[in-house]
């Protein structure tokens, strides 16, 4: 049972308690050099006793540092990807004493620029995390550049070396995934592209093509449909694909949400998955394991990617040298139950 209002301790209280000046306390708090060990100890224990916490507003006013990071994101219906981004970003911020501010965007939108400017200046964030596709929206990146606000892009289409960006090898992963289908005996494999604004879309598409080539399968543009990473577009694309004179026996959707749409469309037509049609997704978000049948997909370490993006961003804000483009993160194919050899099974196929 603590008392009601012990008038939060200030830097002066700590200084007095420790018998030093406020500047020394400030030095200790900010981990600056030029403080004798003994002095530091005195200050530290005073801080503990008084439960002193620096006042963020005063700090910001004086020092120009808000310790705020922004997450500007596209607020789509499908939130599965974003939950992971949020989790990762938040954790990284918290671990470093930063708070996270949210700025949902609805795309396309003529006045993104104003909204983001408002957000960046009004909310006075020091840096901004930009999950795909925003890392590629010039209106946004140019503005932030002009505002001198560092950014960290997650899975941008063309990563600019001077900025922080994290990505994963989703092209390769899509290739493996497609190969898995091919090895099961599928010859006609449909592909649903992701949103053209996302860098991942092109990468995944080319992964698909590479798998075809590698196995001597002809590529047919008929089997490729444009999607937009959401359920509805997946459903529509599946519908078109299944209406083809010679429909594919398997469909690769560029993400789980679209794969869910494919499953839905198949059900509506009374098609059994994977009996009549194999379906794979991408991301291994929550929904993938909740569908029936559970989706074969690719696990993308979104949480860790977001964590890393935020971590690097904050490091940069703190003036540390940042080595952005390490290795891309590794994806992992997750086999579940939405895939099977096409009927009839013909062992002679390979």
Residue 209 tokens read as: 């093509």
Nearest one of 130, 166, 167, 123 to 145, comparing CA atoms: 130
Kindly state whether residue 19 participates in binding a copy of itself, applying the rule CB under 8 A: no
Question: Which of 16, 59, 99, 160: binder of DNA (CB under 7 A)?
Answer: 59
Of residues 65-124, those binding a copy of itself (CB under 8 A): 66, 75, 77-80, 83, 86-87, 90, 99-102, 104, 121-124
Give 23 or 215: the residue with its C-beta nearer to DNA. Answer: 23
Give 20 or 134: the residue with its C-beta nearer to DNA. Answer: 20
Kindly state whether residue 27 participates in binding DNA, applying the rule CB under 7 A: yes
Minimum separation from the CB atom of position 50 to DNA (A): 10
CA dist 229 and 253 (Å) reads 9
What mask of x and - would describe binding to DNA in positions 63 to 82, judged by CB under 7 A? x-------------------
Question: Residue holding tokens 């540390």?
Answer: 320
Stretch that binds DNA, among 14-22, 199-207, 288-296, 300-308 (CB under 7 A): 14-22
Stretch that binds DNA, among 16-24, 76-84, 123-131, 219-227 (CB under 7 A): 16-24
Which residues, 6+ apart, have CB-to-CB distance to 119 below 8 Å? 70, 72, 101, 103, 125
Residues contacting a copy of itself: total by CB under 8 A:
44
Give 10 or 220: the residue with its C-beta nearer to DNA. Answer: 10
What are the CA-CA distances from residue 12 to residues 17, 39, 49, 59 (Å)? 8, 16, 14, 14
Kindly state whether residue 83 participates in binding DNA, applying the rule CB under 7 A: no
Residue 104 interacts with, from DNA, a copy of itself, none (CB under 5-8 Å by kind): a copy of itself
Give 159 or 281: the residue with its C-beta nearer to a copy of itself. Answer: 281
Kindly state whether residue 36 participates in binding DNA, applying the rule CB under 7 A: yes
Kindly state whether residue 29 participates in binding a copy of itself, applying the rule CB under 8 A: no
Kindly state whether residue 275 participates in binding a copy of itself, applying the rule CB under 8 A: no
Minimum separation from the CB atom of position 324 to DNA (A): 25
What region, left, alpha or beta, does residue 34 occupy, with left being phi > 0 and alpha being psi -120 to 50 degrees?
left
Kindly state whether residue 22 participates in binding DNA, applying the rule CB under 7 A: yes
Kindly state whether residue 48 participates in binding a copy of itself, applying the rule CB under 8 A: no
Of residues 123-152, those binding a copy of itself (CB under 8 A): 123-124, 146, 148
Residue 205 interacts with, from DNA, a copy of itself, none (CB under 5-8 Å by kind): none
- Binding residues for DNA, rule: CB under 7 A, are 8, 10-12, 19-24, 26-27, 29-30, 33-36, 38-40, 52-55, 58-59, 61-63
């Amino acid at each position: 049972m603590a008392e009601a209002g012990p008038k939060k301790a200030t830097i002066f209280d700590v200084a007095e308690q420790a018998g030093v000046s406020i500047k020394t306390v400030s030095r200790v708090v900010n981990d600056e050099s030029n403080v004798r060990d003994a002095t530091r100890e005195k200050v530290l224990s005073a801080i503990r006793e008084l439960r002193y916490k620096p006042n963020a507003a005063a700090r910001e006013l004086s020092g120009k540092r808000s310790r705020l990071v922004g997450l500007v994101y596209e607020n789509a219906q499908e939130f599965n990807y974003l939950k992971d981004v949020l989790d990762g970003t938040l954790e990284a911020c918290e671990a470093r004493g930063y708070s996270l501010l949210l700025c949902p965007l609805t795309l396309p939108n003529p006045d993104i620029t104003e909204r983001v400017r408002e957000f960046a200046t009004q909310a006075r964030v020091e840096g901004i995390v930009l999950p795909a596709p925003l890392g590629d929206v010039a209106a946004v990146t140019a503005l932030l550049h002009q505002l001198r606000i560092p950014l960290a892009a997650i899975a941008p289409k063309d990563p600019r070396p001077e900025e922080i960006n994290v990505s994963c090898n989703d092209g390769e992963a899509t290739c493996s995934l497609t190969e898995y289908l091919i090895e099961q005996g599928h010859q006609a494999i449909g592909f649903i592209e992701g949103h053209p604004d996302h860098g991942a879309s092109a990468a995944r598409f080319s992964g698909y093509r590479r798998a075809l080539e590698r196995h001597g399968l002809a590529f047919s543009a008929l089997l490729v449909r444009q999607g937009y990473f959401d359920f509805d577009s997946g459903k529509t694309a599946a519908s078109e694909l299944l209406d083809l004179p010679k429909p594919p026996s398997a469909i690769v959707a560029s993400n789980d949400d679209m794969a869910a749409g494919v499953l839905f469309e198949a059900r509506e037509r009374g098609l059994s998955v994977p009996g009549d049609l194999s379906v794979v997704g991408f991301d291994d978000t929550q929904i993938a394991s909740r569908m029936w049948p559970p989706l074969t997909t690719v696990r993308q370490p979104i949480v860790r990617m977001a964590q890393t993006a935020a971590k690097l961003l904050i490091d940069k804000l703190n003036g540390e040298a940042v080595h952005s483009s390490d290795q891309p993160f590794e994806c992992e194919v997750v086999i579940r139950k939405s895939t099977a050899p096409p009927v009839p099974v013909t062992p002679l196929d390979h």
